[in-house]
Amino acid sequence: MSVTEPARLKRELRRDLLAVRAALAGDEVAGAGEALAERALELPELAEADTVAAYVSVGREPGTGALLRALRERGVRVLLPVLLADDDLDWAEFEGHGRLVESEHAGRVRLLEPAGRRLGPEAVTWADVVLLPGLAVDARGVRMGRGGGSYDRALARLADAGADPALVALVYGHEVVDVLPDEPHDRRVHAALTPEGVHRFTR
């Protein structure tokens, strides 16, 4: 099967963006996570949310640990993804970092997920805000992920259900770019949150 031009460009960009992330120092990543939490808690979408779908950051992703703790302390119901064998996402409630376990399906990546009761893939439709991992976001709100397709399925599920939560991608400041290659299945986000601030796109 031939690789489409957008798919080829995405693959090359992912390689370059991951290389930049890999060069970040540990204290840079930790500082970015603290700043990201502060910026996120200022967002009106999160201030008004009862349920937020989020994720546990891995590797050199902007850290979400401080943000998850802060949301839970606010009384927000936080749903975290549980990776299934077919790369789709189930969801379970965040009950604290002590209740996270390693995923059975993450391969070489040390992916943490909640140990509690599984709520089903459709639980993402309950969220008022969905916080998304990404490698970059462009000026149109096009988000580029790692290419596994897990979040593409979750976003498609939202569209099928007629759900319209705020979609916010968490990235570093240098990962907000002018334009990214996109494909018909790519659903645009409403905002990109970086440690420096928020970038909003037309909703």
How crowded is residue 142: how many other Cβ atoms within 10 Å of its Cβ? 21
Answer yes or no: is 147 a known binding residue. yes
How far CA 25 is from CA of 30, 34, 55, 135, 176, in Å, comes to 9, 15, 22, 17, 20
Q: Please state, in angstroms and as integers, the Cα–Cα distance from residue 50 to each residue in 74, 130, 184, following that order.
A: 10, 12, 31
Consult the annotation and say whether 3 binds a ligand. no
The reply, when asked if residue 11 is annotated as ligand binding, is yes
* 21 known member of a binding site: no
Instruction: Tell me the C-alpha distance between 144 and 181, whole Å.
Output: 8
Q: Does residue 80 sit in helix, strand or coil?
A: strand
Residue-level pLDDT at 194: 95
Please indicate if the annotation marks 14 as binding a ligand.
yes
Beta-strand (E) ranges in 94-181? 100-102, 112-114, 129-133, 136-138, 143-144, 166-170, 176-177
Residue 149 known to bind ligand:
yes
Q: What is the pLDDT of residue 1?
A: 36
Q: What tokens does 100 get?
A: 């996270």
Annotated binding-site residue? 146: yes
Q: What is the CA radius of gyration of the chain?
A: 16
Confirm whether residue 110 is marked as ligand binding: no
Query: Model-level pTM?
Result: 0.92
- 3-class SS shares of the chain: helix, strand, coil, % to 5: 35, 25, 40
Q: Does 93 carry a binding-site annotation?
A: no
What residues contact 148, with CB distance under 8 A and at least 6 apart? 87
What pLDDT does 10 receive? 84
pLDDT tens for the chain, 203 residues: list them: 345 687 788 888 899 999 999 998 988 888 999 999 999 999 999 999 999 999 999 889 999 999 999 999 999 999 999 999 999 999 999 999 999 999 887 666 678 999 999 999 999 999 999 999 999 999 999 999 887 889 999 999 999 999 999 999 999 999 999 999 888 888 899 999 999 999 999 76
148 is in an annotated binding site: yes
Q: Is 157 annotated as a binding-site member?
A: no
Please calculate the CA angle 178-182-187 and round it to the nearest 5 degrees.
100
Could you give all domains of the chain from N- to C-terminal order, each with its CATH number?
5-200 (3.40.50.10420)
Quick one: pLDDT at residue 108? 64
* pLDDT for residue 146: 83
Contact 169, 162 (CB under 8 A): no
